[in-house]
């Protein structure tokens, strides 16, 4: 199994399933990890799935992805809208990057319309709830295979 996908999750996503189910759904992050890992396995990939409430830890993992990952799926949560440091870290990657959100930030408060991730992402999946995680695994595998075809 040569494809290693990183899926990194930002602050407060450890609370999924416990609060605000009307916005983020009923699944816990552990449930989501199980479903997305199964999808990755079906597609011949491994999924490294992590969550942190700390910006610096997320940046350390993004730097680790430079060396160890074939693609990065990132739900940076509120850091999406604030973090130039995460933007800068993502710019150093030469692998496909997918920005992911459970909700659709554009249909919510205006401060969520700004994303520091989108300008450095290959694609964005938002508003599809926990299904977005499996869809982003499919998209990541497809982008890696496309990249391999063009770069040999
Ligand atoms: O929709 C998404 O996935 C978000 O990235 C979630 C972030 C939010 O700041 C972004 O605008 C959109 C918030 C994650 C908070 O997660 C919670 C989960 C359960 C209960 C409370 C918060």
Structural domains of the chain sorted by starting position, each given as residue range(s) with its CATH number in brackets: 3-151 (3.40.50.9100)
List the strands of the sheet with 45-51, edge to edge. Answer: 45-51, 3-9, 71-75, 97-101, 123-126
Mean pLDDT, residues 5-24: 94
What is the tens place of the pLDDT at every residue in 22-37? 999 899 999 999 999 9
Task: For residue 57, give both structure tokens.
Answer: 């830890």
In angstroms, the CA 111 to CA 17 distance is: 24
Q: Which of 79, 81, 87, 101 is catalytic?
A: 101
The pLDDT, as a whole number, for residue 21 is 87
What is the tens place of the pLDDT at every residue in 83-113? 999 999 999 999 999 999 999 999 999 999 9
In angstroms, the CA 59 to CA 43 distance is: 27
SS3 67: helix
Q: pTM of whole model > 0.75? A: yes
3-state helix, strand, coil in the chain (%, to 5): 50, 20, 30
In angstroms, the CA 12 to CA 81 distance is: 14
Strand ranges for 57-137 from DSSP E: 71-75, 97-101, 123-126
The pLDDT, as a whole number, for residue 7 is 98
Cα end-to-end span (Å), the chain: 18
What is the tens place of the pLDDT at every residue in 120-145? 999 999 999 999 999 999 999 999 99
CB of 23 closer than 6 A to ligand 1?
Answer: no
18 C-alpha to center of ligand 1: Å? 12
31 C-alpha to center of ligand 1: Å? 16
The pLDDT, as a whole number, for residue 1 is 57
In angstroms, the CA 59 to CA 4 distance is: 18
Mean pLDDT, residues 63-72: 98
Mean pLDDT, residues 60-82: 98
């Amino acid at each position: 199994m040569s494809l290693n996908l990183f899926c990194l999750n930002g602050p407060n996503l450890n609370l999924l399933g416990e609060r605000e189910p009307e916005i983020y759904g009923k699944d816990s992050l552990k449930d989501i990890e199980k479903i997305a890992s199964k999808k990755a396995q079906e597609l011949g990939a491994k999924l490294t799935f992590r969550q942190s409430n700390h910006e610096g830890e997320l940046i350390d993992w993004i730097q680790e992805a430079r060396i160890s990952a074939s693609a990065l799926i990132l739900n940076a949560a509120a850091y999406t809208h604030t973090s130039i440091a995460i933007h800068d870290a993502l710019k150093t990657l030469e692998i496909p990057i997918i920005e992911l959100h459970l909700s659709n930030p554009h249909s919510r408060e205006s401060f969520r319309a700004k994303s520091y991730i989108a300008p450095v992402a290959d694609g964005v999946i938002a508003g599809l709830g926990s299904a977005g995680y499996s869809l982003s695994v499919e998209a990541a595998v497809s982008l890696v295979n496309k990249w391999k075809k063009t770069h040999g």
